[in-house]
Chains A and B, each alone.
Chain A
Amino acid sequence: MLEVSDLRKSFGRLTVVDGVSTTVAGGECLGVMGPNGAGKSTLFDLLAGATPVDGGTIRLDGRDVTGLPPEIRVQAGIARAFQIPKPFPTLSVREHLVLAASAGQGLRGAALAGQVDEALERTGLGDKAGRTGRELRLLDRKRLELAKALASGPRVLLLDEISGGLTEHEVHALVDLIRGLKSPGLAILWIEHIAHALKAASDRILMLHLGRKVIEDIPDTVTRDPRVRELYLGQAHHA
């Protein structure tokens, strides 16, 4: 589904993504870990087209999408939930999703309404459909990020730290939600710091450090890897 090869990005002299390659197939969830500043969000910026790449290619179902602007990538099926939510202050929650389903996937009428309702229900925003973006609390803004991405009919779903602020119980619900999303037509990439949640939902985990891939393997192998324990889990224990 998604093939990434030798992706590079620098800001001035700082290399933030340094030759990252991976593939994610339909039905798979790739967990992405790494300390703060590792380049995880920037990697998603490149995949979603928010920032142009300095090198490398991104293919979706074999089609090269590396040079396409973000709106065309969404229409092609690469949807993204931002780490820092970007709600539209004056639009209602439902309007956000109507827009995502119509502009992102070209849906109309009953198909559109169905997709919007499903995204509302999946993310638990049903009773807040009439609220405007401005009125939402952080937690609901995070949910709205996920709902927007779902409503745009994704083939590749990029989730960037969507569990921030959730209780232990809610994190479990989120893991169930992501597992429930898995289907042959969808590839998921999920950036998260909560190791057990990522382990529970992912088929593989990719560890990023200073823009480079440290390891990419099945969750058990990755979490047992000494480099990972030192870099990331160790750091998490100190925090």
Chain B
Amino acid sequence: MRPGILLAVAVVALVLLPFGADRGMLFLASEILVVVALSQAWNLLAGYGGLLSPGHHGFVGIGGYALYVLTRDLPVHPYMAIPLAGIVTAVLGFLLAPILFRLREVYFAVGMWVAAEIFRIVVMRWDYTGGAAGLPLAAARSLNREWMGASAYWLALAVALGATALVWALMRSNFGLRLRALKDDELAARSIGVAPHRVRLAVFVLSVALTGMAGAVSFLSALFITPVAAFDINWMVTIVFVTIIGGIGRISGPFLGAALYFVLRETLAFSSSWYLVALGATAVLVMLVMPGGLAGALDRLLSRKSTMETQP
């Protein structure tokens, strides 16, 4: 029961954070939670589904733009627009899936990359989405300025914890079994009746929906969105770094990876050219020294401790 209590205390502390943190801290915490959610979503597809996508930044951007366009054109509150942004990205993912899934392995990755590029170009050229100049948040009036930071934080917390809970529940469900079996041995899985396309389609749609919601949350407090920021490749770099460092295919990975990522970012204050080099070097080092990432190393540490405790 103790891990359960610990978890409950941590969640309560996270929920109450806005009452004890200043604006800067709250902003940083929201940023971290968005990255946790994005990493959890990407990990669902890559770590559990076995599909490596280098194009998820495209869905971050679509989620962000969905928030801005929906609240401009429809009478929906920005907070309500966040789940709607998830639905928009889910539908887009569902429509693209038949094309992307015809491409296997490395071609799927190329397909995802191309899709993200196309999203960016279309949004940049289209008047409806504000073109290259971007869009202001038309519904900013309906937001309470005083609670703005706290609300954005709570939304980020909800999306991060929601994504984590979803992955946790999925992996314990019959659907999770199908996913694991497919990843282990596709022919053996199909030979007991697992339909690979349906399972992959479902994780793909879920993954991009979560990504879109996290994207919408991230751009809410910015009050402005541009194609350059929305479809920034740095989203992808951050997601991959955090997931690999944290431990691919592990539910605690995104939390541990995000923690290390932000510690590095905040303390080392890289100049931008050295930033990517440092991230890349850290990722390679972690892959070499700790194949399971931080989560894997932590597991080994805990199990060694418990075997030492049981063997006096």
Interface residues of A (CB under 8 A from B): 48, 50, 69-72, 74-75, 79-80, 82, 86-91, 95-96, 98-100, 102-105, 133, 148-149, 151-152
Contact surface of B with A, Cβ cutoff 8 Å: 174, 177-178, 180-181, 184-185, 187-196
Closest chain-B Cβ to A45's Cβ sits at a distance in Å of: 10
Taking a contact as CB atoms under 8 Å apart, the answer to whether B174 and A90 are in contact is no
**Distance between B306 CB and nearest chain A CB, rounded to angstroms:** 19
B187 neighbours in A (Cβ, 8 Å): 50, 70, 86
> How far, in whole Å, are A102 and B205 apart by their CA atoms in the complex?
22
> How far, in Å, is A91 (CB) from chain B's closest CB?
6
Report how far A98 CA is from B184 CA in the complex, Å: 16
In Å, the complex CA distance between A50 and B184 comes to 17
For the complex with contacts A71-B195, A133-B184, A151-B192, 14 further pairs of A-B residues with Cβ separation under 8 Å are: A70-B190, A71-B191, A72-B195, A86-B188, A88-B180, A88-B181, A88-B184, A88-B188, A91-B184, A96-B192, A99-B192, A103-B189, A103-B193, A152-B193
B177→A91 contact, CB < 8 A: yes
Q: Of all chain A residues, which has the CB nearest B249?
A: A90
Please name all residues of chain B whose beta carbon is closer than 8 Å to the beta carbon of A133 when the two chains form the complex: 184
Chain B nearest CB from A154 CB (Å) reads 11
B170 nearest CB across to chain A (Å): 15
In the complex the two chains form, what is the Cα distance from A69 to B178 in whole Å? 17
B180 to A91, Cβ gap below 8 A?
A: yes
Bound state CA distance, A99 and B177, in angstroms? 7
Q: Which residue of B lies closest to A80 (CB)?
A: B191
Checking B180, B184, B185, B193 against A71 with a beta-carbon cut-off of 8 angstroms, the contacting residue is B193
* Distance between Cα atoms of A48 and B187 in the complex (Å): 11
Q: Interface of chain A, helix or strand or loop or mixed?
A: helix
Q: Are A91 and B181 in contact (CB under 8 A)?
A: yes
How long is the Cα–Cα vector from A75 to B177 in the complex, in angstroms? 17
**Cβ-defined partner of B192 (8 Å) among A50, A69, A104:** A104
Query: Which residues of A lie under 8 Å from residue B194 when comparing CB positions?
Result: 71, 99, 103
Contacts of A89 in B (CB 8 A): 184
Q: In the bound complex, what is the Cα–Cα distance between A69 and B189 (angstroms)?
A: 12
Residue from B180, B184, B188 within 8 A of A82 (CB atoms): B188
Instruction: Give chain A residues whose Cβ lies under 8 Å from the Cβ of B188.
Output: 82, 86-88
Closest 9 pairs (CB-CB, A-B): A104-B193, A86-B188, A103-B193, A74-B193, A100-B192, A88-B184, A70-B190, A71-B190, A103-B194
Q: Nearest Cβ in chain B — how far from A166, in angstroms?
A: 22
Partner of A103, one of B180, B184, B185, B192: B192
Closest A residue, CB atoms, query B188: A86
**Known pairs A88-B180, A88-B185, A90-B180; A98 contacts B193 (CB<8 A):** no
